[in-house]
């Protein structure tokens, strides 16, 4: 799995080669760094959140949800549920995935997993709400975004 390109969206073939049992709309590989370890030489819990955030931001940009400009909608995590399934160590190559699983008029559920050596190590399910750029009012998701959630990610209206 070490021949995977890092920080680049993986193709379905690359995802399968990395040991993912199914392909994802977005999957990105990287390697555990020394700075991400805790005193017990395991990956620190905070590092998982950074990895999930990195793929989430990439997903938002690739799907056209935001470019992080002043007039773009704000995307806010309303709720997040993280499950740590297995520890990780220095130099492990891992893949972080993302897909929308459900959507409503102004919010959606983003589901992500971290895989290493063919083993699922962590999952994160987040409810993301889209707000107006300059006030705390909800903004409806664009029809094109809802169609992409449905057609590319396989998401269903909630």
* DSSP per-residue letters across the chain: -TTSPBTSBPPHHHHHHTT-SS--SEEEEEE--GGGB-TTSSBPHHHHHHHHHHHHHHHHHHTTS----TTSPEEEEEEEEEEE-S---TT-EEEEEEEEEEE-SSEEEEEEEEEETTEEEEEEEEEEEEE-TTSS-B-PPPHHHHHHHHHTT--EE-
pLDDT digits (tens, 9 = 90+) for 89-98: 999 999 999 9
pLDDT at 3: 86
Segments of the chain scoring below 50 in pLDDT: none
pLDDT at 2: 57
pLDDT at 47: 97
Q: Any idea where the domains of the chain sit in the sequence?
A: 12-157
pLDDT at 57: 97
pTM of the model: 0.95
Its CATH architecture, for the domain 12-157, is Roll (3.10)
């Amino acid at each position: 799995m070490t021949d995977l390109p890092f920080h680049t969206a993986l193709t379905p073939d690359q995802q399968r080669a990395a040991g993912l049992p199914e392909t994802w709309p977005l999957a990105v590989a990287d390697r555990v760094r020394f700075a991400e370890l805790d005193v017990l030489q395991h990956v620190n819990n905070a590092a998982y959140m950074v990895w999930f955030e990195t793929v989430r931001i990439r997903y938002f940009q690739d799907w056209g949800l935001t470019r992080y400009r002043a007039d773009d909608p704000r995307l806010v995590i309303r709720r997040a549920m993280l499950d740590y399934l297995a520890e990780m160590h220095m130099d492990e190559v891992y893949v972080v995935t993302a897909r929308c699983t459900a959507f409503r008029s102004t919010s959606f559920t983003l589901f992500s997993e971290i895989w290493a050596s063919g083993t699922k190590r962590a999952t994160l399910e987040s409810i993301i709400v889209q707000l107006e750029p300059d006030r705390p009012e909800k903004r409806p998701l664009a029809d094109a975004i809802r169609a992409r959630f449905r057609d590319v990610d396989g998401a269903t209206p909630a």
